[in-house]
């Protein structure tokens, strides 16, 4: 019998946390401090202690978190910002909005994370060309797994670059036993509804151990204000997280660890059921994934597209992250130096994400596995 599997099921999750969620929302409706109300500070404290970071500043989105982090470093025209080509558009959009130049770096064919050898070659080439100043590296923790942070820290240190962790997809994941949030000079996270810790609208945050940076982030999210609200010290933006979103996220944080554990169970079930048939996700050594995405690889585009179509017919939704690497996007191509990034270009044709979300039941996971087998048979 054909079933209908949900790629994301926010209604089921909402039903599970309804009492706590409603109580949280009622409190905000009672005090009416809709901007920077007490829930925002409470959430910042909870998020910082969740990952052991010194400071957390809640913001309007993950994209704004990346932007505020770069504004705080003064990144702008003439600056080169190194980032992977195989990621969500926001990673490259932010340097361009600030007038800086994204330098696209290829990724590892199995972990999908930024290729550190290629990164070093790209930094060297930008230095040799002499027209841009290497300013920052954005390491993206793709799909829930960490980038190679020990290598990225070494490269950033040797080159004097600001190191930013785009952890929008991967908050809750860990490396060498430590939750992500302290691997770089600053870490940006997102609460977009489909992320592992998703709100009911846009939201994000910056984590850092650096008190001066945290102070700057707070100023930048409120129009560059100083000690008093009407003292403007710098050009900032309106980048605050709404109190209502903080209230939603506080209710969700209570079940977050259990949801991460459920995602990991589902990933393991997929591995067991599918590893003989296709390339299941390779694990980054010494890491725990937040399992934002479970992406498999097919031998070629035709077989990927056939699997996606076959699964759709059988009630199993899938997604392609990402159908086009960023350096080939119409908006970014003019800013790209023309270097071919073969791994990113190849992955875009062969990758497919299966449903992985904490509300999936065991029989649904088994159904997905059965249907993949049936289509590939
Ligand atoms: C989702 C995402 C962002 C942007 O986060 P928003 O909260 O949607 O602005 C940035 N980078 C990556 C890698 C993402 O997946």
Atom of ligand 1 nearest to the CA of 204: 7
For ligand 1, is residue 169 a contact (CB within 6 Å)?
yes
Q: Tokens for 93? A: 């959009």
Fold annotation for 10-250: 3.40.640
Segment 34-59, tens digit of pLDDT: 999 999 999 999 999 999 999 999 99
Question: Which residue puts its alpha carbon closest to atom 6 of ligand 1?
Answer: 62
Q: Is the CB of 126 under 6 A from ligand 1?
A: no
Q: Distance of alpha carbon 158 from its chain centroid, rounded?
A: 26
CB of 84 sitting under 6 A from ligand 1: no
> Has residue 230 got a pLDDT over 90?
no
**149 — pLDDT class (breaks 50, 70, 90):** very high
Whether 198 shows a pLDDT value over 90: the answer reads: yes
CATH number for the domain running over 255-376: 3.90.1150.10
Tell me, in angstroms, the distance from the centre of ligand 1 to residue 225's CA: 26
Angle at 97 between CA 87 and CA 101, to 5 degrees: 70
Task: Give DSSP secondary structure letters for 205-239.
Answer: EEEES-HHHHHHHHHHHBTTB-SSTT-B-S---B-
The token pair at 8 is 């994301």
Atom of ligand 1 nearest to the CA of 192: 7
State pLDDT tens for residues 342-372. 999 999 999 999 999 999 999 999 999 999 9
For the stretch 113-147, pLDDT in tens is: 999 999 999 999 999 999 999 999 999 999 999 99
Distance, in Å, from the CA atom of 362 to the CA atom of 355, rounded to the nearest integer, reads 13
Residue nearest to atom 5 of ligand 1 (CA): 62
Q: How far is CA 204 from CA 61, 123, 193, in A?
A: 4, 29, 11
Confidence of residue 20 (pLDDT cuts 50, 70, 90): very high
Distance from Cα 41 to the centre of ligand 1, integer Å: 22
**CA-based end-to-end distance of the chain:** 18
Question: What are the residue ranges spanned by the domains of the chain?
Answer: 10-250, 255-376
Alpha carbon nearest to ligand 1 atom 13, residue: 88
């Amino acid at each position: 019998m054909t079933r209908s599997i949900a790629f994301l099921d926010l209604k089921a999750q909402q039903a599970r946390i309804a009492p706590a969620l409603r109580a949280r929302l009622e409190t905000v409706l009672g005090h009416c401090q809709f901007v920077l109300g007490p829930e925002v500070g409470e959430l910042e404290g909870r998020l910082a202690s969740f990952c052991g970071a010194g400071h957390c500043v809640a913001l309007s989105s993950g994209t704004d978190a990346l932007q505020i982090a770069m504004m705080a470093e003064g990144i702008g025209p003439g600056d080169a910002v190194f980032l992977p080509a195989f990621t969500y558009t926001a990673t490259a959009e932010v340097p361009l909005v600030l007038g800086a130049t994204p330098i696209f770096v290829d990724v590892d064919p199995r972990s999908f994370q930024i290729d550190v050898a290629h990164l070093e070659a790209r930094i060297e080439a930008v230095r040799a060309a002499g027209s841009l100043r290497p300013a920052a590296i954005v390491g993206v923790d793709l799909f829930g797994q960490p980038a190679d942070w020990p290598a990225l820290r070494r490269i950033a240190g040797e080159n004097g670059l600001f190191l930013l962790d785009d952890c929008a997809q991967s908050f809750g994941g860990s490396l060498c036993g430590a939750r992500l949030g302290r691997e770089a000079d600053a870490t940006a996270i997102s609460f977009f509804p489909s992320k592992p810790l998703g709100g009911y609208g846009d939201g994000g945050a910056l984590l850092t151990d650096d008190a001066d940076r945290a102070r700057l982030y707070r100023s930048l999210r409120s129009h560059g204000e100083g000690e008093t609200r009407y003292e403007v010290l710098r050009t900032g933006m309106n980048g605050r997280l709404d109190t209502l979103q903080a209230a939603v996220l506080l209710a969700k944080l209570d079940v977050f660890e259990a949801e991460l554990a459920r995602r990991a169970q589902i990933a393991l079930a997929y591995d067991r059921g599918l590893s003989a048939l296709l390339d299941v996700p390779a694990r980054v050594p010494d890491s725990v994934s937040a399992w934002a995405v479970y992406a498999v690889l097919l031998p070629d585009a035709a077989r990927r597209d056939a699997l996606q179509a076959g699964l759709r017919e059988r009630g199993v939704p899938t997604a392609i992250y990402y159908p086009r690497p960023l350096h080939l996007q119409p908006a970014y191509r003019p800013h790209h130096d023309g270097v071919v990034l073969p791994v990113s270009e190849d992955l875009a044709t062969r990758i497919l994400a299966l449903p992985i979300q904490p509300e999936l039941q065991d029989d649904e996971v088994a159904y997905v596995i059965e249907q993949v087998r049936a289509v590939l048979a």
